Structure 1
């Protein structure tokens, strides 16, 4: 894997609370990241049928992406490729003329409340899982589409031909850049409409949704492409971005689900690892060659999301640092201003495992006062309430580590895969206490890094897809490892009894 001249890759990375445009410069066997634009994001409330709805301001995101790419060319130089990753499940609907047909709903919108139960009353959950292998969450795209159809969002013409095309968010931005409509597999696999074995839209499942739910998606879904596919060049009339010597800059469908890009960047040297992609959500699981579609896996609510190079991301969504961020936001509203360093120090000084919550409890999903919700959970489970900010933060960290422990062990048991190492990537690894607690709770050595895993995974898949570097997934990970600061955490054997007791108390 060599390149004679520096390669500049534009990596667009959008999250639910912020977005940025990065440039990954590949030279001398290393990648250097440069941030050219950062911007805020968040759902916007609007009145709608049945109450308040939440939507994304996709025109704001599009403008920020454009400005970030223009800044990249101005500040770093011509871009040899561009890749886009975002969160999963959310989508825009296009009219036949190519314009958006309406607002882009947020996965936190309550329009899907109760819909999974309705779908499963018509199509048994076992039948769906045997095809899509997907964890049940209210916001899965298939459930959003049922809500969309009820809002009259999927009209057809007199001959029954679809009058809308669905593009998941990264594919929508790619369409605006290139004029090409595709569905990249890693994000498409979160819709609930993909056959996890065949890596295609499931015709039998689409037929069942039509016959049992009157949800007609014929003609709505674009062709699926694998991660690393060149979709098309950036249209200069849309964004004046160019490659070396003025050549067109290709847009590559990277692992467009941000977790897929993050997992592609796990700096593992073998296959016996588990991972935590640690951010607003924590995605905890294993990398497999084939999906696990057993009834035991379905009952455990594990998901089979598809990954780069034919892999499967067998994982469970854990609520993540969302709970911590919401707690901090509430404390600031209440006039308590503490730095992250002060909060981390206070948590480290607090008694371990004094109060532990099920971080995946629905109480912690919606925005709000997380400290009050922790109090309520503690009372319900006969535990002492935290007495200070440090104890609340320690509770969140302990609870996250306990969730990681349970998810890793369950994934290994259900898949039959041996796990010897836990890799943690993403911004959450800056929380050194959480990394050490993850090692103690799982009993596994933790390898933490890179913090910018998603951007690095985006960069290497885009560069390879554009033909600028070569190698398999192991080679890409070696390049990431050589470019990253890695910290290792050793589990404390003396801590094992405490974690065993905490798990028994909370989940027995």
Structure 2
């Protein structure tokens, strides 16, 4: 049976077909398209109409399937007016409008989220809402344009800072206290979105159904972690890296808040207890500044060099787009370190700094949750980076199982397959991934690089 997974990332979108049998799942890429932000009058926007067109092109190329599912990054949204029309292009979370946010306004004991200045609630407080009737997170917005149906999918709603992680509904008392209009928050629904609109079917050349999946891409990726038991940590590694463990209930202690851990909803009532780490964004921006050199050759060279400098990937200076090599040099100067010399050392500095951040996050997640960790599963695009995987094994002191690369698309398709009765619970879905995906294990060894 064939399913279509629409996976929108911060730098590109993918439309994948997934052929599912009782014993295997096979992915194939139907269409890939860039996701380029656009700056207009000083504000950084997502080009949402270009993304929607990329989705339509991909669905057309993929051809008929049992259903389609949509996942994307979190926190960003579109606003609709009373007629259901989009009010302007959604603003990018890297826009500077929340750069001055230094304190949380959502109570940790309610939302369970780590502090991030660009969380949805912080963006909304800088938004004009007088003409807004409905807020839709990015995958819900694309789903609305495809089906005409409005709703809030749970895993993405849990990233907004307006979701009560214990009651599993909007935190209405917080919404009222902040003076936000209740009307803009649609009902949180676990139901399928429904069939595509007639005009969409005409454009695609076929009709299909949009199935509600875990619309936060990390939630979909965690579904496809090929774990054989509960004692694992995951690193969903792309533009961002989300590092954590899977739990049955949130951890809302003061120690957890101070450690800046987040409790986001997963599939089947699970909690993704994790910390956001900046991820490959810093490397991506360096490559852009360097005019996109051969990455494989650069990684090979970086694997041979040694560099003492270590950066904090989550330092605010690395959040906005810009000249990242210069910012690394400035960070080293500010912290009394010798900056990397040349591109290979800069790449090594970035990757070993990420690995150390991953190690700290895995240790903290295990300690704060009480969940022992015996293996680390590194999924997503970063699993292709052998040097990063090796450094992560050394930093954590644990075996690192790298892959699958397209974990979000796999998890997306597996939830669709379950809706058709082809697969059962999370354990069964992960067993199917283990039997189908290409993975590689990196064993820890002695570390000979800085702390």
Partner residue, 1:319: 278
Q: What stretches of structure 2 of length at least 5 have no aligned partner?
A: none
Counterpart pick for 2:135 among 156, 159, 166: 166
Spell out, residue by residue over 1:183-211, the C-alpha distance to the aligned partner (whole angstroms, 9 max, x if none): 0011000100101112111122122212x
Counterpart pick for 2:423 among 470, 476, 479: 470
Residue 422 of structure 2 aligns to a residue whose secondary structure is coil
> 1:8–1:23: 8 Å Cα contact kept in structure 2?
yes
Q: Does 1:65 align with 2:55?
A: yes
Partner residue, 1:506: none
Residue 439 of structure 1 aligns to a residue whose secondary structure is helix
Spell out, residue by residue over 1:326-384, the C-alpha distance to the aligned partner (whole angstroms, 9 max, x if none): 1111112xxxx631111111110101x52211111111111122222222222222322
> 1:324–1:393: 8 Å Cα contact kept in structure 2?
yes
Partner residue, 2:30: 36
TM-score normalised per structure 2: 0.96
User: How has the CA–CA distance of structure 1 residues 28 and 417 changed in structure 2, closer, same or farther, with 3 Å as cutoff?
Assistant: closer
> 1:69–1:241: 8 Å Cα contact kept in structure 2?
no
Within-5 A mapping of 1:209-228: 209-210=178-179, 216-226=180-190
Q: Does 1:105 align with 2:81?
A: no
> 1:448–1:486: 8 Å Cα contact kept in structure 2?
yes
Spell out, residue by residue over 1:415-441, the C-alpha distance to the aligned partner (whole angstroms, 9 max, x if none): 111111100000111110110110110
Counterpart pick for 1:196 among 162, 165, 185: 165
Q: Does 1:232 align with 2:194?
A: yes
> 1:286–1:411: 8 Å Cα contact kept in structure 2?
yes
Residue 238 of structure 1 aligns to a residue whose secondary structure is helix
Counterpart pick for 1:131 among 110, 122, 135: 110
Partner residue, 2:130: 154
Tell me by how many angstroms 1:54 deviates.
Answer: 0.9
Partner residue, 1:375: 329
TM-score normalised per structure 1: 0.86
Tell me by how many angstroms 1:239 deviates.
Answer: 3.0
Residue 363 of structure 2 aligns to a residue whose secondary structure is helix
The answer to which of 355-364 and 444-453 deviates more is 355-364
Residue 314 of structure 1 aligns to a residue whose secondary structure is strand
User: How has the CA–CA distance of structure 1 residues 457 and 98 changed in structure 2, closer, same or farther, with 3 Å as cutoff?
Assistant: same
Distance (whole Å) between structure 1 residues aligned to residue 421 and residue 30 of structure 2: 22
Distance (whole Å) between structure 1 residues aligned to residue 404 and residue 69 of structure 2: 19
Distance (whole Å) between structure 1 residues aligned to residue 159 and residue 39 of structure 2: 24
The structure whose Rg is larger is 1
> 1:241–1:249: 8 Å Cα contact kept in structure 2?
no
> 1:13–1:455: 8 Å Cα contact kept in structure 2?
yes
The answer to which of 379-388 and 273-282 deviates more is 379-388
Partner residue, 1:482: 435
